[in-house]
């Protein structure tokens, strides 16, 4: 379906069909439409074409951010989404708010200070949640702040949001990204000079919050366009009417040193308290988590994606060189379109060869645990199509193995590929992250996840650790990948405190969890005896939970 044809058409979301009636807006990355349904509330459908670099990058940041953050009264909620592979398009479904965005409100009336105070309180509540997920919005401005039908402010548009996927970008690439995804007069000093080595943290949003507060108070930007000197030094335009607590709040938000900027909790506590114009409020600082770190590197051109895939899946008994896999993953994080090249390169590999098929499955499994899930459906060849090809391939007999061992590998490759196909289905159905970390687990997802955990145990107990010499080291490497996912899945289920009470009430949950845990723990010990070296394979750009690292190193699951 082309974007020009959307009006009058129906999009079949999983939650039900939505008919497009009116075009609301259009940007370089997406188009927004209003739905029509006399029996229900109006909805907004955001159409994103994935055929362009900018459109795909927007989708790549927007969808995972909404999924990770979850519902909140001060954040626009993603109701549903749909991906259409035949035309490289994505559709996101949201509630429609008749009051529009903050820029519309500002254009109609000058806001009272009491209204500004409530808006900032709501924004701080939203930022507390966003930053708790280690996400930086990066584009806080009036157009991206909606006024809900309940009167609450709601932050929207996470197309510029970042988490860890920008880790490893060189300065030139980061400079171009900043130019395309942030507003010039809202940029903090660390974004004006990417060569300074200052890391990106949630403090960027706090600088932008300061710009927004100033705009709400005085209806103008705090810095003149192209006055980089003042902006770089945090010298905002002086206004005689600026009173407390706004004066102190702005001074603490426009700190050149990101570590000295106030946090949303402190700002909210000041504005919710009893203050007067003569009292200078106290700003409490907290330690921030690192979201993105500048890497002083030159782009790696030593090996193309095609040659890396070929080397990793070579038709021999040699183990994968870790640097090759690290480079492949880093390329995907630097440019999501590299994922398509990996799949295209894999599609040309001779899967009839046992070693090639097994190594390809190991590569795909590692990819599924390290590359953002939104990139899996990019391009004609996807993880799903590659897995189906391997699952259905007729293996050729290897002269190095006998008939019994050949049947063993046939069953192993068929079972392992089926397992990964099921993994994709579970993530699509439960909206969980592909590495499980930070996923919000719904009650109806518990038993499918427990079933998948049991399925993960099958290739280890039945195949990977068997005493067959052919491809033994490669099978042990794959066993480590499977153990890694078991630890991630176990940790996610155990540590999802938001749904702990309802989860523990699910029939058989605790019994099934403990049974899976005990079996998994025994397998970890068995694998450690076979391969005494550290189980955890280090991956670039990953910010693993400390609990997972310790679990793998000590043989515990959580």
Q: What is the pLDDT of residue 552?
A: 37
Query: What pLDDT digit, counting tens, does each position of 400-459 carry?
Result: 788 888 998 999 999 999 999 999 888 877 777 777 876 777 778 888 888 999 888 887
Can you give the pLDDT at residue 52?
Answer: 76
Judged against a pLDDT cut of 90, whether residue 218 lies above it is answered with yes
Q: Is the pLDDT of residue 120 over 90?
A: yes
280 band by pLDDT with thresholds 50, 70 and 90: low
Amino acid 184: pLDDT: 83
Let me know how long the chain is.
558
Assign 300 a pLDDT band (cuts: 50, 70, 90).
very low
Containing H/E element for 155? strand 153-155
**What DSSP designation does 373 have?**
G
Residue 498 or residue 547, greater confidence: 498
- pLDDT exceeds cutoff 60 at 305: yes
User: What's residue 215's pLDDT?
Assistant: 94
224-239 tens-digit pLDDT: 877 778 888 888 988 8
- The pLDDT assigned to 347 comes to 92
Distance CA 179, CA 339 (A): 24
What is the reported pTM? Answer: 0.58
CA distances from 138 to 65, 149, 252, 492 (A): 12, 25, 19, 27
Domain ranges of the chain: 3-95, 102-292, 305-554
User: pLDDT category, 333, cuts 50, 70, 90?
Assistant: low
Distances (CA, A) of 535 to 291, 532, 552: 26, 8, 6
What does pLDDT average to over the chain? Answer: 79
* Mean pLDDT of the 125-145 span: 92
Distant-in-sequence, close-in-space partners of 384: CB < 8 Å, separation ≥ 6: 376, 377, 421, 424
Within a 13 Å sphere around the CA of 522, how many CA atoms are in the beta-carbon half?
9
Q: In angstroms, rounded to a whole number, what is the distance separating the alpha carbons of residues 138 and 209? A: 10
Residue 529: pLDDT above 80? Answer: no
What kind of architecture, by CATH, is found in domain 3-95?
2-Layer Sandwich (3.30)
Most confident of 2-16, 108-122, 156-170, 370-384: 108-122
CATH topology of domain 102-292: Transferase(Phosphotransferase); domain 1 (1.10.510)
Angle, alpha carbons 468-474-480 (nearest 5°): 105
pLDDT in tens, 281-298: 666 665 555 544 433 333
- For residue 15, what pLDDT is reported? 83
DSSP per-residue letters across 122-138? HHHHHHHHHHHTT-B--
Residue 338 contacts residue 305 (beta carbons within 8 Å): yes
> Within 10 Å of residue 303's Cβ, how many Cβ atoms?
16
Q: Which residue has the higher pLDDT, 263 or 280?
A: 263
Candidate from 124-138, 343-357, 528-542 with smallest mean pLDDT = 528-542
Alpha carbon distance 157, 58 (integer Å) = 9
Instruction: For residues 116-132, give the mean pLDDT.
Output: 94
Is it true that 3-95 and 102-292 share their CATH fold?
Answer: no
Helix (H, G, I), strand (E, B) or coil at 252: helix
Q: What percent of the chain has pLDDT over 70?
A: 79
Look at residue 71 in the predicted model and tell me its pLDDT. 87
Report the candidate in 452, 436, 444 with the shortest Cα–Cα distance to residue 495: 436
* The three-state (H, E, C) secondary structure of 484-537, written as one string: HHHHHHHHHHHHCHHHHHHHHCCCCHHHHHHHHHHHHHHHHHHHHHHCCCCCCC
pLDDT over threshold 70, residue 258 = yes
The pLDDT tens digits for 44-86 are: 999 998 777 777 778 878 888 888 888 899 999 899 888 887 7
Contact status, residue 169 vs residue 237, Cβ threshold 8 Å: no
List, in sequence order, every residue forming a beta bridge with 44; answer none if it has no partner. 34, 94
Reported confidence tier of residue 547, pLDDT bands at 50, 70, 90: very low
Q: Residue 288: what pLDDT?
A: 59
Looking at residues 491-507, what average pLDDT do you find? 67
CB 311 within 8 A of CB 321: yes
The residues that bridge with 201 in the sheet, in sequence order, are 290
């Amino acid at each position: 379906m082309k974007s020009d044809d959307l009006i009058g058409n129906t999009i079949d979301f999983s939650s039900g069909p939505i008919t497009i009636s009116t075009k609301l807006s259009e940007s370089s990355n997406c188009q927004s439409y209003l739905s029509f349904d006399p029996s229900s509330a109006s909805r907004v459908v955001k159409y994103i074409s994935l055929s362009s670099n900018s459109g795909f990058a927007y989708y790549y940041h927007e969808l995972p951010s909404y999924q990770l953050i979850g519902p909140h009264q001060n954040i626009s909620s993603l109701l549903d989404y749909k991906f259409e592979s035949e035309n490289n398009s994505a559709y996101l479904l949201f509630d429609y708010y008749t009051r529009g965005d903050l820029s519309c409100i500002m254009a109609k009336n000058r806001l009272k200070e009491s209204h500004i105070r409530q808006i900032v309180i709501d924004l701080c509540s939203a930022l507390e949640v966003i930053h708790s997920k280690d996400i930086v919005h990066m584009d806080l401005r009036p157009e991206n702040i909606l006024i809900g039908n309940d009167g609450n402010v709601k932050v929207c548009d996470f197309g510029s949001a970042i988490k860890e996927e920008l880790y490893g970008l060189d300065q030139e690439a980061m400079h171009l990204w900043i130019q395309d995804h942030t507003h010039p007069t809202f940029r903090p000093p660390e974004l004006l000079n990417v060569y300074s080595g200052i890391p990106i943290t949630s403090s960027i949003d706090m600088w932008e919050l300061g710009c927004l507060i100033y705009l709400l108070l005085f209806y103008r930007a705090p810095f003149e366009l192209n006055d980089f000197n003042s902006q770089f030094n945090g010298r905002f335009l002086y206004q005689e009417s600026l009173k407390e607590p706004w004066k102190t709040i702005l001074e603490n938000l426009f700190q050149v040193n990101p570590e000295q900027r106030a946090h949303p909790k402190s700002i909210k506590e000041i504005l919710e308290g009893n203050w007067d114009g003569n009292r200078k409020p106290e700003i409490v600082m907290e330690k921030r988590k690192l979201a993105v770190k500048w890497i002083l590197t030159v782009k790696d051109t030593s090996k193309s994606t095609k040659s890396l895939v070929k080397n990793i899946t070579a038709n021999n008994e040699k183990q994968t060189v870790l640097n090759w896999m690290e480079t492949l993953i880093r390329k995907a994080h630097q440019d999501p379109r590299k994922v398509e090249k990996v799949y295209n390169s894999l599609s040309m590999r001779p899967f009839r060869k046992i070693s090639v098929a097994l190594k390809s499955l190991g590569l795909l499994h590692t990819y599924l645990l390290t590359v953002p899930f939104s990139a899996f459906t990019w391009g004609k060849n996807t993880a799903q199509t590659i897995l189906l090809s391997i699952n259905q391939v007729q293996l050729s007999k290897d002269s190095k193995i006998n008939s019994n061992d050949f049947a063993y590998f046939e069953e192993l490759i068929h079972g392992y590929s089926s397992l990964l196909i099921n993994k994709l289905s579970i993530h699509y159905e439960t909206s969980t992250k592909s590495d499980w970390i930070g996923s919000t687990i719904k009650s109806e997802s518990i038993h499918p996840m427990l079933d998948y955990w049991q399925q993960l145990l099958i290739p280890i107990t039945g195949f990977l650790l068997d005493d067959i010499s052919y491809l033994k080291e490669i099978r042990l490497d794959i066993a480590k990948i499977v153990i890694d996912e078991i630890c991630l899945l176990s940790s996610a289920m155990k540590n999802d405190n938001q749904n702990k009470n309802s989860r523990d009430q699910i029939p058989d949950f605790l019994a099934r969890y403990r049974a899976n845990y005990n079996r998994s723990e025994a397998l970890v010990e068995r694998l450690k005896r076979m391969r005494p070296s550290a189980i955890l394979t280090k991956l670039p750009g990953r910010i693993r939970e400390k609990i997972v690292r310790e679990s793998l190193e000590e043989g515990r699951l959580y």
